Structure formats: structure tokens, C-alpha cells
Amino acid sequence: MAGIRLENICKRYGEVSVIEGLNLEIQDKEFMVLVGPSGCGKSTALRMIAGLEEISEGNLFIGDNRVNDWAPKDRDVAMVFQSYALYPHMTVRENIGFGLKMRKMPKPEINQKVDDAAKMLGLSQLLDRKPKALSGGQRQRVALGRAIVRNPKVFLFDEPLSNLDAELRVQMRSEISQLQKKLQTTAVYVTHDQVEAMTMGHRITVLNKGQLMQVGTPLQLFNSPDNIFVARFIGSPPMNVLTASVSASGDQVEGPGFKIPIPPCYSHAAQSFRNRDIKWGIRPGRVSWTQKADYQVAVETEVFLVEPLGNEVIVHAQLQGQPLVAKLPPSCLGQLGDQLTLYVDTRHLYLFDPASEQALSLDQERHLEQED
């Protein structure tokens, strides 16, 4: 029963600043995913919550307590590492029970709890084995068992699935989600895989270079990214972001090879960019190769790479030197030439300030007549 609050948390190694003024509130029972590119400070943030890394500045609260100076074991958190970090010389039973033993729980009670945890994770048959004799997925489960058996206030996961093969990863993903739901324990989950982030998180925190980019539900991040970084980090393939300038009238973005009307939701914000540079974005899924409605605007492109993925085709094209990626249905295969007319769904246009890379604010809801 505990939320986590990071207040202006900073982490420095000597001169190097790794995390700069991080503010974040994680609700009780929430599954929060920390996501960002390699080296952005996700692990560091997680380890500061665990108490494995000192906090250079700021306040960390778990529940109602400021825990900056608390020893890790007093914070009552459990962590699952990428490498599993099982104790190689102990059996599965001893591995799972070690935390309870260290907390001086009587033996019969430990056995009971270990049995319960093992049952929940399907490890009952493996309790007498050593980690060496387990498969990757089984080791992962033992690491989970070690975390849940103590019934901690908070679960911390640091890329726990990145050593598993794709199939197992999908399976463990849902197992971890279900486990957290069942146990109702606050969880912070670090990953650099945005699919994991989107599918597991109640909310997602996007970090870049030690700075908070955006916090929100998966759909919020996908539909209304705060900045170019989030727009491109969430979603696959990433959002197309192109450079253009706003027309004198302020109602369209223009660039070499395109003239695209600005949707009404931006009409106010775009005014201040008249005759100035701007960046506009469109998700690959919102670019099609047939025109169905008049809100789709044609652009002439040159195709230079086609990636057929079975249920969809990723087309990499150039719009007068600027890359434009489109996610098209497989039926387009065989009909693609070097030249291709693509249609941009203007209702789903995003506009960004080129200097700050922040999204322009919408002055009204995007109104989408009918979702296709």
C-alpha cells in the first residue's frame, strides 16, 4: 500500500549529471513504466528508488515516508534484475526464501510462503533445482518469486524480459501484468521496448537524457505527444516529422513538394507561426496510397525501400529529400513503382515548434468526423 513520489530528484556522478530535477508521482497500485533510449537514466532512477544508488538532491517518498536516507532493506521494495541475479549456489526454494530467512521468519512459515509463491508461478516441480538447471523463462519466474514472496510495498523491474526470446517475452509480459493486478502492488517497470511499455503500463514515463519528457497513459502518449521526442519514441515505425513553413495566411504548411492544410484544431496556434518555419508530423499509419476522402492530401514521393511484414508493408519514401514512411496494406505490393503518390490524412497532422521541439497547443479537440 504505497505510492511513490519523486520530488526534484537529481543524480550526479562527480561533474556528470545523469538525472536532472525529476518530478514524478506514482500512484498506489499503479503499474508505471519508465521508458527511454539507452543511457537516459532509467536504471539510475529505479536504483535510487531501491536505495542502491544515493540520491544527490531532492526528496523521495514511499508511502508517507521520506526514504532518502533509509537502507534498502527498510524501504520494503523488491527488485527483479535483467540478469535475474539468482543465487547460483542455492536451490530455487532457498533462492525464493532467502529474503524471508534474512528477516528471521520461522522455517515452517518460510516453507509455506515459498510453496504458495511457487504454485502461483508454476515452479512447484522445480523447487529443489539449482538455477543452472533452469531455462531462461524459469529463472525469470524464480526472480519473480523472490520478489513476490516478501509481499513488498513496491516491485521494481529493470528490463526483466530483455534476455528472453520473443515468444517467451510476450508470454511473460502478460504474466507479470496479471501478477501485479492480482497482488495489487505498486510497480515501476523499466524498459527500452516501447511495445512493452504500451502493453503493460497503466501509465508511462518517457525519459530522455535524464529529463522527463512526458507522463501519461499509453493512449495519451500516442495520441497527444508533448514533443517531437515522445512523438517519435512511441509508436512503430516512428512518426514522420518534416520541416516546412507556415503560409502567410496561416492555414497551411508548405514545403518543397507539398502544401498541406492545417486542421482547425491548430488554427489559432499556427497563427503565430505565419511565414515562419515549423515542423509537422504524421504517423506512418495515417499515410495511405489511395484517396478515400478529401481530407487526404496527395504528395508525390520517390520510393527507396519496401519492407513487407506480412500483414502490412512499410514503405520508405522521399518527399523532395525529406523522408516519409508509410504503413500500407499488403495489397499495395506489386503495384508500387519508383514514383508513388501518397495521401496524408490532414486530420491527424501534428505541429511542433522547431526551436523547442514542443508540440503546439491545440485550441480545441481534434474533431474526427468518423474514425476509419
Partner 1 sequence: MSGELSKKAHLGLHLFMLVFTFLATYPVFWVFAIAFSGKQTLLLADVNENPTFLDRLRAVFPWPEHPSFQSFIDVLSDQPFARWMLNSLIVAGLTTVVSVFLACTAAYAFSRFKFPGQRAGLMAFMVSQMFPGTLMMVPLYIIVVKYLGLGNTWWGLVLVYTTTAIPFCVWMLKGYFDTISIEIEESAILDGASRAAIFFQIVLPLAKPAIAVTALFAFMTGWNEFILASIFMEQETLYTAPVGLRFFVGKYSQLWGYFAAGSILVSIPVVVMFMFTQKFLVSGLTSGGIKG
Ligand X SMILES: Nc1ncnc2c1ncn2[C@@H]1O[C@H](COP(=O)(O)OP(=O)(O)OP(=O)(O)O)[C@@H](O)[C@H]1O
Rounded Cα–Cα distance for residues 285 and 309 (Å): 14
Binding pattern for the stretch 225-244 against partner 1, x by CB under 8 A and - elsewhere: --------------------
Contacts of 108 (CB under 8 A, 6+ apart): none
Q: Which of 23, 37, 65, 73 forms a contact with partner 1 (CB under 8 A)?
A: 73
Q: Which of 2, 3, 32, 41 forms a contact with ligand X (CB under 6 A)?
A: 41
Q: Which of 17, 30, 50, 336 forms a contact with partner 1 (CB under 8 A)?
A: 50
Query: Could you say whether residue 43 binds Mg ion (CB under 5 A)?
Result: yes
Query: Could you say whether residue 86 binds partner 1 (CB under 8 A)?
Result: yes
**Hey, what's the cell of 257?**
513538394
Q: Supply the minimum distance, in Å, between the C-beta of residue 102 and partner 1.
A: 4
Residues 191-250 that bind ligand X (CB under 6 A): 192
Report the sign of the C-alpha dihedral through residues 163, 168, 172, 173, in that order: positive
Query: Could you say whether residue 122 binds ligand X (CB under 6 A)?
Result: no
Rounded Cα–Cα distance for residues 115 and 109 (Å): 10
Residues 128-187 that bind partner 1 (CB under 8 A): 131, 139, 146, 150, 163
Q: Supply the minimum distance, in Å, between the C-beta of residue 45 and partner 1.
A: 15
Residues 174-193 that bind ligand X (CB under 6 A): 192
* Helices 166-183 and 136-148: angle between axes, nearest 10 degrees: 10
Query: Could you say whether residue 205 binds Mg ion (CB under 5 A)?
Result: no
Query: Could you say whether residue 89 binds partner 1 (CB under 8 A)?
Result: yes
Give the DSSP per-residue string, 258-297: EEEEPPGGGHHHHHTTBTSEEEEEE-GGGEESS--STTEE
**Contact of residue 39 among partner 1, Mg ion, ligand X, none (CB under 5-8 Å per partner type):** ligand X
Contact 52, 132 (CB under 8 A): no
Query: Could you say whether residue 304 binds ligand X (CB under 6 A)?
Result: no
The stretch among 24-32, 41-49, 113-121, 202-210 that binds Mg ion (CB under 5 A) is 41-49
3-state secondary structure of 306: strand
Query: Could you say whether residue 72 binds partner 1 (CB under 8 A)?
Result: yes
Q: Would you say 23 or 83 has its CB closer to partner 1?
A: 83
Task: Return the residue nearest ligand X (CB atom).
Answer: 43
**Contact of residue 272 among Mg ion, partner 1, ligand X, none (CB under 5-8 Å per partner type):** none
Q: Would you say 45 or 198 has its CB closer to ligand X?
A: 45
Contact 257, 319 (CB under 8 A): yes
User: First CA to last CA across the chain, in angstroms?
Assistant: 42
Query: Could you say whether residue 52 binds partner 1 (CB under 8 A)?
Result: yes
Query: Could you say whether residue 44 binds Mg ion (CB under 5 A)?
Result: no
Contacts of 65 (CB under 8 A, 6+ apart): none
Rounded Cα–Cα distance for residues 112 and 125 (Å): 15
Contacts of 142 (CB under 8 A, 6+ apart): 84, 86, 92, 95, 96, 121, 123, 126, 131, 134
**Contact of residue 44 among partner 1, ligand X, Mg ion, none (CB under 5-8 Å per partner type):** ligand X
Q: CB-based burial of residue 267 (10 Å sphere; 0-12 exposed, 13-18 middle, 19+ buried)?
A: middle
| The pairing of beta strand 211-216 with beta strand 203-208 | antiparallel
Could you tell me how many residues of this chain bind ligand X (CB under 6 A)? 12
Q: Supply the minimum distance, in Å, between the C-beta of residue 4 and Mg ion.
A: 18
Q: Would you say 61 or 81 has its CB closer to partner 1?
A: 81
Residues that bind partner 1 (CB under 8 A): 50-52, 72-73, 77-79, 81-89, 98-99, 102-103, 131, 139, 146, 150, 163
Residues that bind Mg ion (CB under 5 A): 43
